[in-house]
Amino acid sequence: MSNELYAVVGHPISHSKSPRIHSLFASQTGEAIEYTAIQAPMDDFEGTVRQFFERGGKGLNVTVPFKEQAWELAGKRTQRAEKAGASNTLYYDEDGVLTADNTDGQGLVRDLVDNHGVDLGSARILVLGAGGAVRGVIGPILARQPASVTIANRTVSKAAALVSLFADEAGATELSACGFEQPDVPFDVIINGTSASLQGDLPPLSTNVIDDHTVVYDMMYSLTTTTFNQWALDHGATRVFDGLGMLVEQAAESFRVWRGVTPETAPVINELRND
């Protein structure tokens, strides 16, 4: 029997680590899959998706800039994808309906909790940013019942909109929105979900948000320390992590959704770190 076909779709796509991650999962679990990278034209994501599944493809990962389009295209959405407003995982369900899932938030939470041993329950969490990346992770963070989640953003109205959207999932967690300048006390966990460092910028935060027990997590990953994590280290943080573990964990959850098999992530994270 020939291998079943999977792929990641984005634009650009040549830098994507997903083919390597899924190939490592496949050799580890013995699943017979082939996983490629597809660059969709900016104006024809839908055609690219249709063509892939018509050729017999089994599942797609979707990355920048098409995650919102993937969410719109699907005929059905999982509960976690519905609130995320974006999808990184597409497949046809048993009724033949194109289904959108989102595994990013679970990827972040698994990396923090399982790989780095961070206790999110009762934690006071500062989330920086209010774009698509942050919207995808707020639900799974709230599910861990932290004491508080403060969403800080340059455009405060976008943070406030996320607070309204997720109010029904907050339970006992205190959920609030503010600008970057406002937080002035140490947090247990700070998660950077802005794209500021892509422009070489840093959110203008008070250094008082960090003390020596603060865990700092940058959702971006990089071969060297990220700009944000370097700033945190320079101001007293001792535990800083980048998003490589999140990348591998979201991939593992997509693999489980498609194949019903959960791969081990630690060896894959190690292997990528040493590339």
Q: Is 153 in the site for ligand ATR (CB under 6 A)?
A: yes
CB 210 within 8 A of CB 229: no
CB 152 within 8 A of CB 183: yes
Candidate residues 44, 72, 119, 201; the one interacting with ligand ATR per rule CB under 6 A: 201
Q: Is 131 in the site for ligand ATR (CB under 6 A)?
A: yes
Residues 11-30 that bind ligand ATR (CB under 6 A): none
CB 126 within 8 A of CB 154: no
The residue type of 241 is F
Tell me which residue of 137, 7, 144 sits closest to 85, measured CA to CA. 137
Q: Is 199 in the site for ligand ATR (CB under 6 A)?
A: yes
Is 67 tagged catalytic? Answer: yes
The gap from C-alpha 269 to its chain's centroid, in whole angstroms, comes to: 15
> Binding segment for ligand ATR among 6-14, 75-83, 117-125, 189-197 (CB under 6 A)?
189-197
How many residues sit in the footprint of ligand ATR (CB under 6 A)?
A: 15
> Binding segment for ligand ATR among 96-104, 105-113, 192-200, 240-248 (CB under 6 A)?
192-200
| Separation of alpha carbons 186 and 94, rounded Å | 48
Q: State the first-to-last Cα distance of the chain, in angstroms, to the nearest integer.
A: 32
Considering the complex, what minimum distance in angstroms separates the CB of residue 263 from ligand ATR? 26
* Close Cβ partners of 181 (under 8 Å, ≥ 6 residues apart): 204, 205, 206
Max alpha carbon distance in the chain (Å)? 60
Considering the complex, what minimum distance in angstroms separates the CB of residue 218 from ligand ATR? 12
Which member of 58, 67, 76, 83 is catalytic?
Answer: 67
Candidate residues 105, 107, 140, 203; the one interacting with ligand ATR per rule CB under 6 A: 203
Nearer to ligand ATR, 228 or 255 (CB): 228
Q: Which residues sit at the interface with ligand ATR, rule CB under 6 A?
A: 129-133, 153-155, 158, 194-196, 199, 201, 203
Q: List, by residue number, the catalytic residues.
A: 67
